[in-house]
Amino acid sequence: MTRVWLLDLDNTLHDAMPVVFPRINRAMTDYLARELALGHEEANALRMQYWRRYGATLLGMIRHHGTDPHHFLRETHPFPDIALIVKRDMRLVHALRRLSGRRIVVTNAPLHYASQVVRALGIWAHIESIVSIEAMSFAGRLQPKPSRPMLRRLVARLRVPAARCVLVEDSVANLAGARHVGLRTVLVTGISHRSHHPSRRTRAGPSRRVDVQVQSVAHLPRKALRSATITR
């Protein structure tokens, strides 16, 4: 049966740390300051508070201020120069080409941004579809990763057993949610985990917190072929 690879975007397929994330954070802080009539420091503190409490600043804004999510996402992800920021890596292109099965990007980012990044990376031809945050809504409520109900609905839409799906992520919290739903899990450590002390990293092994760990998605085809936990 076909394997389905659910690929996170930022800090998994590309490095968002140097430019993309700082710009998104600034745009979100500016949005809170403008919409809620706050000073910059107060707006930044509230942004961080909502992010820690809800896993996404947007969820806090919707819950406490009735923010229109489409307006928020449009205003906080303006990247007309994304092709100059995101660096194409042919190792990633070749890896996805060799990765057997369906390949779907699943991201908490908005669709307009995710589409731009996928095109800039040169991997559009190797991706079946993009599941963005706009598609993670149920009964009028956004449920982005690591929402277990959202992941169950996604698997149901794909019409494959959960055990045939592999979530590839840099976020341990998102992978933990996926494991509870029955998905296989791959932790990508080369970008967002590179500044962490090695003893603080989550690793694949007896603890089973993740099935497989790779430094880069470029290493995934080789690791997948060697790992019975993914290939079976």
Kindly report, residue by residue over 16-40, the tens digit of the pLDDT.
999 999 999 999 999 999 999 999 9
138 and 50: one domain? no
87 and 202: one domain? yes
28 and 89: one domain? no
120 and 26: one domain? no
Residue whose structure tokens are 């085809």: 221
Say if residues 12 and 217 touch (Cβ distance below 8 Å).
Answer: yes
The range of the structural domain enclosing residue 112 comes to 4-15+83-231
170 and 197: one domain? yes
Kindly provide the residue ranges of all beta strands, DSSP E only, lying in 110-215, ordered along the sequence.
Answer: 129-131, 137-138, 141-142, 165-169, 184-188, 212-214
Whole-model pTM over 0.75: yes
Q: What is the CATH number of the domain that holds 45?
A: 1.10.150
24 and 11: one domain? no
Confidence of residue 229 (pLDDT cuts 50, 70, 90): confident
49 and 117: one domain? no
Read off the pLDDT of residues 109-128 as tens digits, 9 standing for 90 and up: 999 999 999 999 999 999 99
142 and 57: one domain? no
